[in-house]
Amino acid sequence: MATQTMSTERRTEKLDVRVSRSAKAKLQAAASASHRSMSDFVMESALSRAEETLAERRIFALDAEKWAAFQAALDAPTRPLPRLKALLEEPGFFASGSDR
């Protein structure tokens, strides 16, 4: 998916990254080995890792026992939180002077 997005979108933004000499050499070698420019190699690698990171925040797996406990927690009635209720009932920072 990242490769498709990268190849169809026009590159209009610039990203500067400082790297050590050895890191640059390693990136250049990997880009060369995969027959890509260093820019394309770094972009594809970074986008792939970004997708993995974001997926980890959207998708999680649970075994049957933990899934049942998770569903039970979602279905459980809410518990009273008096301090939160009081906070939400306070006038907001931008409320007009008569509301405060």
Per the domain annotation, does 56 fall within a domain? yes
Closest CA to 29 of 41, 46, 17: 41
Can you give the pTM of this predicted structure?
0.51
Rounded CA-CA distance 92/29 in Å is: 56
Question: Is there a domain that residue 65 lies in?
Answer: yes
Tokens encoding 45: 């690698």
pLDDT value at residue 97: 64
Domain count, the chain: 1
Dihedral of the alpha carbons of 87, 93, 95, 100, in degrees to the nearest 10:
70
The answer as to whether 84 is a domain residue is yes
Decide if 97 is inside a domain.
Answer: no
- The yes-or-no verdict on residue 32 having pLDDT over 90 is yes
Domain extent for 53: 2-89
Over residues 44-99, the pLDDT tens digits come to 999 999 998 898 787 778 999 999 999 999 999 999 999 999 999 999 888 776 55
User: Is 22 among the domain residues?
Assistant: yes
